[in-house]
Structure 1
Amino acid sequence: MDEMNKLFYNVIENKRKTLANLKDSIEDTEKDLLTLMLEAGEDTTDTQHRLSDSELRDDLAIFFLAGHDTTSNALSFAIYFLAAHPHIQTKARAEVIEIFGDGDDAVYPTSSQCSQMKYVYMVMKETLRVCPPAPNTSPRKNTENFDLAGTFIPKGSSLTAEIYALHHNPAVWRDPETFDPERFGPGGESELKAGTGLPWLPFANGPRQCIGMNFSLAEQKVVLAMMLRRFTWTLPVDSINKDHIVLGKGMGILSPKDLRVDFIRRF
């Protein structure tokens, strides 16, 4: 923790120096979250409402955790499901090869190429349905009495949206325990549910929707495309995840337990 705190404080100090040297010369579209938080503090004359270094450190820590652990676990789950369903892995690889070609050259997907990966995206969305890394939203307290679908919720109650339960609800999804990327294909189950509510919610929704959603989805597409092109993979015969995914115990983030995979280079 001392090393991590030192890293975060160094990032804050370096960013503060950079902003002092480049003041008013950074385009809004180029500003990262730390830049915006530091500028917000400079724009207020009320020093009590400026974020202290320790508060900035806390924010950096949560963005670091939320931005890295969730995506890495989403990729781990995707790798598991592709290993557990070889025919899906084969279909996903065929799409990647069609877009990028085959061979031992290094390929780094562009944004336009990523947008062409329709089936890989379907695999990603189904992975996030079955195993959403963030299984629920942060608790919120309601400020007044209200009725929710026939249930009275008194003022001051602690409420959270159970994303995992929603994604596995048979009243919402057909055969919810079955991994089926076709749900998210043209004319599939997901498309038919459009406008009927929020059946797929791995990044939450509304004003508190995950700020890193698009970045995470881009990361997943790039990594999966590069891995599918270079490797094939299977689960070891003695894997504890052989018959179904076993979930680990994380700090509010869903992760696979003891996931081991056998990779074979294609070239």
Structure 2
Amino acid sequence: MEQTYALAGYIAHMKDIAPTIALAAVAAYAVYYIFSLAVPPSNDGGVPYIPVYKTLRWMMKGAVGRYDVSQKLDKPYMKDAGIVKAWMFGGWAYKVSKVEYARRLFMQTDIFQKVEIRKMMPHNLGPRVTGSSFSFENGDAYRGHRAVIGPAFRRSWPTLLFKKPLLELMDVIERESVAPLDVLLWLRRGTLDVLGHIIMSYDFNALSDPDNKQRAMYDSLLEAMLHPLYNMFPWLDLFATGERARQWEYLGHFHAFIDGVIDERLKEMEGMPALTDDQRNHADLLTLFLESYLQSKSGKVLDDRGKQVTPLTREQLRSNISLFYVAGYDTTANSLSYVMLELARFPAIQKKARDIVIGVLGNCKDAYPSDEQLKELGYLDLIVKEALRRNSILAEIRRRLAAPVQLGPYTLPKDAVVSVDTWAMHYNPDYFPEPDKFVPERFAEDAASPLRSSVPFTFNPFSNGSRQCVGMKFSLIEQRIAISLLLLRFEWALPDDSPFWGSTPAAPAGLISPVGLRVILKSRF
């Protein structure tokens, strides 16, 4: 009897400590895993490498800023070689900063192929959000996706499409400006409402409902995609607990939401006559995308080589719609945030831009640009480009080698992941003279400035070459309208104690965003 009680007690004790044992085992494996990577494979001719522990230390510091990572971690190891090897996404990968290497990566798409990140990180949550979208396809599969998706983006994007959500954003900013404005918070909410409106005529109410659970779920998913620890060690998702486990649940809810909208819209479109040119120009992206999808099922869609495309699966439909949200949400909100930051740092440029806007739209609070007026605000594009040069949203642009490649004295093996380091290139004085200066005019086509950017393939915030971001035109138009409205309605500055006067606290990797940016806004009316 005593032995039975003893055994029962032992079993109960083991149940109590089982979670601790499991956690200790995971931690022990992680330590072993990190130390086993002390020296990477040397089958490339001796490319310099960054020790894993140094990368991990920088990634876990929090909002240190990508500039600091680039200058203090990457640059000392990359040096004149223009290439370095670092640990990320569960394996060793190469980063390049020489324009001749970047040009090959962007132009030789048969060799430098898009990374199929779902296969690279099969257990990780991040790649599951956009799943089997065209962004990760290559060859005929990519051409098929592009042929179906392309018509939705080949349009003039009338300014009226953006009017309702952007004017609401301005009203909310004015209401919230009684205190220093949390810039990224409100620009993210405004951008989500814009995307809902433009992509599928859906109102997320992200601006009007601060406790919006759907927006909070979406923000949490994006946070999960960019988590530095899970991106360095993707297998950790096999042990997801707490908030990470909830984010896996959010993923299921988000996909179900997209599937439901697609089903509803397909039913609406059954038997509908073909859209007129005017209807097509004012339709949301989902309508145009599904119109092309239905045509592909009838064999009416050909890729750029004249080959009939294979209709997308339902999963691919959902994945591409999800991609539109992910690609357009944080990127645009982050870019606008950096524009506001730079114009707060440089009030003379802010005033110059405002004078141009007033000269085109008039000095009226309710003004909104027409299509023709927007064309006259090209200086705002120069501001966006210079803000993106100094604060690229994409830290790296990745490709996988379909064959061995010779870069300088090094031979990189087949299947190696190679990235263009945008920050290293954007701050290279050989490509951008005096890179620490904020000079929008360096991007003017007719500029005589000695600081003008004139080396092709060195400015890459939207990638480059044939795989350049399909939504670049959409983003630039949205930003041009939003910036014109901000300049017309407000003047803004950084608080005296802002850390952004001397540095740019930001996420160190993934999609780069200004962490904790606040500005003081003053209404002009």
Task: Give the TM-score, by structure 2 length.
Answer: 0.46
Which of 2, 7, 14 matches 2:264? 14
Q: Which residue of 2 aligns with 1:178?
A: 437
Is contact 1:12–1:53 with CA below 8 Å preserved after alignment? no
Q: Deviations over 1:185-228 (max 9, x none)?
A: 322357561xx421211111222110011110000000000010
Tell me, yes or no, if structure 1 residue 257 matches structure 2 residue 507.
Answer: no
Which of 476, 479, 490 matches 1:217? 476
Provide closer, same or farther for how the CA distance between residues 189 and 42 of structure 1 changes in structure 2, counting only shifts above 3 A.
farther
Tell which deviates more after alignment, 10-19 or 122-131: 10-19
1:174 Cα deviation from its structure 2 partner: 1.3
Q: Which residue of 2 aligns with 1:83?
A: 344
**What is the rounded CA distance, in whole Å, between the counterparts of 2:343 and 2:316 in structure 1?**
40
**What is the rounded CA distance, in whole Å, between the counterparts of 2:333 and 2:297 in structure 1?**
32
Q: Deviations over 1:42-74 (max 9, x none)?
A: 549xxxx65443332222222201012101110
**What is the rounded CA distance, in whole Å, between the counterparts of 1:180 and 1:256 in structure 2?**
20
Q: Deviations over 1:226-264 (max 9, x none)?
A: 0100000111122222222211257x2111011111111
Q: Which residue of 1 aligns with 2:359?
A: 98
Structure 1 unmatched runs, 5+: none
1:36 Cα deviation from its structure 2 partner: 3.0
**What is the rounded CA distance, in whole Å, between the counterparts of 1:41 and 1:136 in structure 2?**
36
1:161 Cα deviation from its structure 2 partner: 1.7
The aligned runs of 1:16-95 (5 Å cut-off) are 16-22=266-272, 24-25=274-275, 32-37=288-293, 39-41=295-297, 43=299, 50-95=311-356
Structure 2 unmatched runs, 5+: 1-249, 301-309
Which of 99, 115, 124 matches 2:375? 115
Provide closer, same or farther for how the CA distance between residues 160 and 243 of structure 1 changes in structure 2, counting only shifts above 3 A.
same
1:35 Cα deviation from its structure 2 partner: 3.9
**What is the rounded CA distance, in whole Å, between the counterparts of 1:245 and 1:7 in structure 2?**
36
Is contact 2:443–2:453 with CA below 8 Å preserved after alignment? no
Is contact 1:247–1:254 with CA below 8 Å preserved after alignment? yes
Is contact 2:441–2:452 with CA below 8 Å preserved after alignment? no
Provide closer, same or farther for how the CA distance between residues 192 and 129 of structure 1 changes in structure 2, counting only shifts above 3 A.
closer
SS in 1 for 2:260: helix
Is contact 2:361–2:368 with CA below 8 Å preserved after alignment? no
The percentage of counterpart residues that share the same residue type is 31
Provide closer, same or farther for how the CA distance between residues 89 and 149 of structure 1 changes in structure 2, counting only shifts above 3 A.
same
1:167 Cα deviation from its structure 2 partner: 0.9
Provide closer, same or farther for how the CA distance between residues 25 and 197 of structure 1 changes in structure 2, counting only shifts above 3 A.
closer
Provide closer, same or farther for how the CA distance between residues 32 and 149 of structure 1 changes in structure 2, counting only shifts above 3 A.
farther
The aligned runs of 1:158-237 (5 Å cut-off) are 158-185=417-444, 186-188=447-449, 193=454, 196-237=455-496
Length, aligned pairs only = 258
Provide closer, same or farther for how the CA distance between residues 11 and 203 of structure 1 changes in structure 2, counting only shifts above 3 A.
same
Provide closer, same or farther for how the CA distance between residues 223 and 200 of structure 1 changes in structure 2, counting only shifts above 3 A.
same
SS in 2 for 1:156: coil
Instruction: Decide which structure has greater helix share.
Output: 2
In structure 1, what residue type is equivalent to 2:390? V
**What is the rounded CA distance, in whole Å, between the counterparts of 2:385 and 2:434 in structure 1?**
16
**What is the rounded CA distance, in whole Å, between the counterparts of 2:508 and 2:319 in structure 1?**
23
**What is the rounded CA distance, in whole Å, between the counterparts of 1:208 and 1:18 in structure 2?**
33
SS in 2 for 1:32: helix
Is contact 1:230–1:266 with CA below 8 Å preserved after alignment? yes
Q: Which residue of 2 aligns with 1:131?
A: 391
SS in 2 for 1:21: coil
Provide closer, same or farther for how the CA distance between residues 36 and 188 of structure 1 changes in structure 2, counting only shifts above 3 A.
farther
Provide closer, same or farther for how the CA distance between residues 199 and 55 of structure 1 changes in structure 2, counting only shifts above 3 A.
same
SS in 1 for 2:420: coil
1:34 Cα deviation from its structure 2 partner: 4.5
1:89 Cα deviation from its structure 2 partner: 0.7
**What is the rounded CA distance, in whole Å, between the counterparts of 1:179 and 1:38 in structure 2?**
47
In structure 2, what residue type is equivalent to 1:36? S
Is contact 2:394–2:512 with CA below 8 Å preserved after alignment? yes
SS in 2 for 1:262: strand
In structure 1, what residue type is equivalent to 2:465? G
Which of 223, 233, 255 matches 1:5? 255
**What is the rounded CA distance, in whole Å, between the counterparts of 1:103 and 1:26 in structure 2?**
35
C-alpha root-mean-square deviation of aligned residues, in Å? 2.4
Work out which of the two has the higher radius of gyration on C-alpha atoms and give 1 or 2.
Answer: 2
SS in 1 for 2:411: strand
Provide closer, same or farther for how the CA distance between residues 42 and 161 of structure 1 changes in structure 2, counting only shifts above 3 A.
farther
The aligned runs of 1:232-251 (5 Å cut-off) are 232-248=491-507
